[in-house]
Amino acid sequence: MTRKELFKNTLRKSVHAWKLINELPLSDDESLMLRHFMDQPGFLDLHWRMFVPAIKGQGTEEQKQKWLPLANKMQIIGCYAQTELGHGSNVQGLETTATFDPQTDQFILHSPTQTSSKWWPGGLGKVSTHAVIYARLITDGKDHGVHGFIVQLRNMDDHSPLPGITIGDIGVKFGNGAYNSMDNGFLMFDKFCIPRDQMLMRLSKVTREGKYVPSDVPRQLMYGTMVSVRQTIVSNASIAMARAVCIATRYSAVRRQFGSQNGGIETQVIDYKTQQNRLFPLLASAYAFRFVGEWLKWLYTDVTQRLEASDFATLPEAHACTAGLKSMTTSATSDGIEECRKLCGGHGYLWCSGLPELFAVYVPACTYEGDNVVLQLQVARFLMKTVSQLGSGKAPAGTTAYMGRAKHLLQCRSSIRKAEDWLNPAMVLETFEARALRMAVSCANNLSKFENQEQGFSELLADLVEAAIAHCQLIVVSKFIVKLEGEIKGKGVKNQLKNLCYIYALHLIHKHLGDFLSTNSITSEQASLANHQLRSLYTQVRPNAVALVDAFDYTDHYLGSVLGRYDGNVYPKLFEEALKDPLNDTVVPDGYHEYIRPLIKQHLRSARL
C-alpha cells in the first residue's frame, strides 16, 4: 500500500474495531485485545491510552463530566501532544506558552519558535479533533512551568484546522508499513485562545483574577499518564518478544543443516547448542516479561489507589519501576526480535518471515514514552537516593528492600559449590542482589568524591545506567521466582517454567559476567558452573521448546509469518509467497526492452556472437 492507502485502511480498521466494541459489546479488556489483534498503530491508541487517561488523571470533576462522555463515545478524538521539535526528553524545557489573559478570561497558546512546534504526537497530524497540550503556564508575566490544557484543534463540521492552528503529518518513518499507519503530527499555535476552564486544574489552578494556585500534591502527578503507558508497554514487550520467538523456534525445528550421515536427514538447527544459547534465553525472556508485567500492573493499581487516598509514599518507586522496566524490556525485545531474524538465517530477512515488519513497528518503543537511557537515569537517581538514606533509620521498602541488608550483601560470598546449586532460588537471588547493590554503592562512592553532585552524576552517567539495569534485572528475576512459588497449576508446567526462570537468570550472569566478577558477587569457577547448568537446562527445554511457543496461542494469521507457520509447511509456502510478488506477474520484467536488452545486444555485437 502507498502511505495514503495504508493510513486510510487503518482508519477503516480502527472505526470497524470501535463499531464491534459497541455492538458486541466488548469489555475494556476485550477491547484492548481487539486493538492488539488489529495489530497496527492507529489513532485509537493515543485517544484511549493517553488522551482519556490524561483528562481522568489531571481534570477536575467538572472537566471530567464535560469531556469524558464526549471522548468515551468518540464524539471527539484526542491525542497527547507533549513532545516538541526541540524537546522531548526534557519536559521541563518545553517552549509552547499558555499565557493567561485576565481581560478575556482565556489562555493564549503560542509557539514562539520553530523548535516549539509540537512534533511527534500520534493521531495529531490528520485525525484528532482535540488534544491535551503541554505548555508553559504564564500568569502576570510569571512562568509556572509546564501544565496540561484541553484544546480543540479542528472544526467539527469539515475537519479543517481552526484559525491560528497550523497542523500536519511529520512524514514517513522507519520501515515500509510499520508505524506509517499512524499520523504522527506537527502543530503550531499562533496566539490561539482557549477558555480558562480548559486548563487541566486538578493539580493546580488559575483563578478568574489570574492568580496561580499551586498544587498541594507532588507536581509529578502531571506525568501520571506516562507512568500508566510505561506500565502497559512492559506487558506488550512480552507479547512482541513471544511473537518473534514463536517464529524463530518453530522455524528452527523445521530448518535442517549439516550432520547428515549415510544420506540420512540433516540436523534440525534447533539442536545446535549455539542456536539454543541464542534462542532459549529469548524464550525465557518472553515468559519473564509477562510475569513482571503482571506484577507491574498490580504495583500500578496499588499506587493509583494510594494516590486517590493522598498517600504519595510509593510514587517514587512506581516511577522508578515503570521507567526502568519499560526501558529494560523494550531494549531487550528490540534486540531479541533482530536476533530472531538472524536465527532464521537468510529467510528471516524475507518480508514474509514477519520479522522485518515486527522489528520496524516495535523498535520505536525504545524511544517513545521516554528514551531508554534517560529512563534508566531516573532509576539511577532513585537508587542513589536510596543508598544515601541507608543507615538513616528509614528502611528501604518494596523493590529496594534488599538494600536494607546492605551490610550482609556487601560482604557475603556466594556459596555455590556445584552446578545444581544454581537451581536454588535463594542463592540465585542473593547473587543478583549482591551485584545490584555493589554496583549502586560503587556509583554512590564515586559520586561522593565529587564536590558538586550534579557534576559527578554527569561524569558517571554510563556507570549509573549499568547499575540501574542491574537493579531492573534483579526485579525481573525475583518476580519470576515469586511466580514459581505461587499458584501455578500442574507440576509439568511448573517444571517447564522453572527451567525457563533459571535460563533467564543464568544467561544474564553469562552476558554480564564482567559485572558479577568485578563486584566479586561470584568467582570465575562459579561462573563456569553457571554455564554448565545453563547447557543442561537447554537440553531439558529442547523437547518442549515448540510446545512452549505454541502455548502463546498465536494464530497463523496474527503471526503473519511463513517461517512461523503452525504446520511447519515452510518451503511450499515460501514458493507461494514468492510467486505472489508483482515482479513475478510477467516472466520478462518491465525494463527489459529499455535497459537489459540494449546492454546485452551491445556486448553480443562487440563479441561477434
Ligand X SMILES: Cc1cc2nc3c(=O)[nH]c(=O)nc-3n(C[C@H](O)[C@H](O)[C@H](O)COP(=O)(O)OP(=O)(O)OC[C@H]3O[C@@H](n4cnc5c(N)ncnc54)[C@H](O)[C@@H]3O)c2cc1C
Known catalytic membership, residue 459: no
From ligand X, ligand 3IX, none, interface partner of 461 (C-beta below 5 to 8 A by class):
ligand X
Of 355 and 530, CB closest to ligand 3IX? 355
Q: Do 355 and 561 form a contact (C-beta atoms < 8 A)? A: yes
83 is known to lie in a ligand binding site: yes
Nearest-angstrom CA–CA distance, 297 and 319: 13
Of 224 and 425, CB closest to ligand 3IX? 224
166 is known to lie in a ligand binding site: no
Task: Tell me the three cell numbers of residue 295.
Answer: 506484577
Of 362 and 432, CB closest to ligand 3IX? 362
Of 303 and 377, CB closest to ligand X? 377
Residues making contact with ligand 3IX (CB under 6 A): 36, 39-41, 45, 49, 80, 82-83, 88-89, 91-92, 122, 220, 223, 226-227, 229, 232-233, 236, 315-316, 319, 361, 368-370, 374, 378, 381, 385
Nearest-angstrom CA–CA distance, 594 and 332: 48
Minimum distance from residue 222 beta carbon to ligand X (Å): 13
Complete DSSP assignment for 225-249: HHHHHHHHHHHHHHHHHHHHHHHHH
Residues making contact with ligand X (CB under 6 A): 46, 80-83, 88-89, 120-122, 179, 184, 364, 367-368, 370-371, 373-374, 377, 461
Nearest-angstrom CA–CA distance, 104 and 51: 27
From ligand 3IX, ligand X, none, interface partner of 179 (C-beta below 5 to 8 A by class):
ligand X
Q: Determine the 3-state secondary structure of 167 from DSSP.
A: strand
Q: Exposed, middle or buried: residue 445 (CB in 10 Å: 0-12, 13-18, 19+)?
A: exposed
Q: Determine the 3-state secondary structure of 509 from DSSP.
A: helix
From ligand 3IX, ligand X, none, interface partner of 184 (C-beta below 5 to 8 A by class):
ligand X
Of 269 and 361, CB closest to ligand 3IX? 361
Helix, strand and coil content of the chain, in percent to the nearest 5, comes to 60, 10, 30
Nearest-angstrom CA–CA distance, 369 and 325: 12
The neighbouring-strand residues paired with 97 are: 110, 136
| 509 CB neighbour count, 10 Å cutoff | 26
Minimum distance from residue 35 beta carbon to ligand X (Å): 15
Minimum distance from residue 229 beta carbon to ligand 3IX (Å): 5
Nearest-angstrom CA–CA distance, 250 and 176: 26
Strand 106-110 with 212-213, pairing: unpaired
| 279 CB neighbour count, 10 Å cutoff | 25
Minimum distance from residue 324 beta carbon to ligand X (Å): 15
Minimum distance from residue 375 beta carbon to ligand 3IX (Å): 7
Active-site hit among 339, 369, 433, 466: 369
From ligand X, ligand 3IX, none, interface partner of 428 (C-beta below 5 to 8 A by class):
none
From ligand 3IX, ligand X, none, interface partner of 315 (C-beta below 5 to 8 A by class):
ligand 3IX
DSSP 100: E
Minimum distance from residue 495 beta carbon to ligand 3IX (Å): 31
Nearest-angstrom CA–CA distance, 172 and 7: 11
Per the listing, cell 499507519 goes with 181
Of 33 and 596, CB closest to ligand 3IX? 33
Q: Would you list which residues are annotated within the binding site?
A: 83, 122
Q: Would you list which residues are annotated within the binding site for FAD?
A: 83, 122
Residues forming the active site:
369
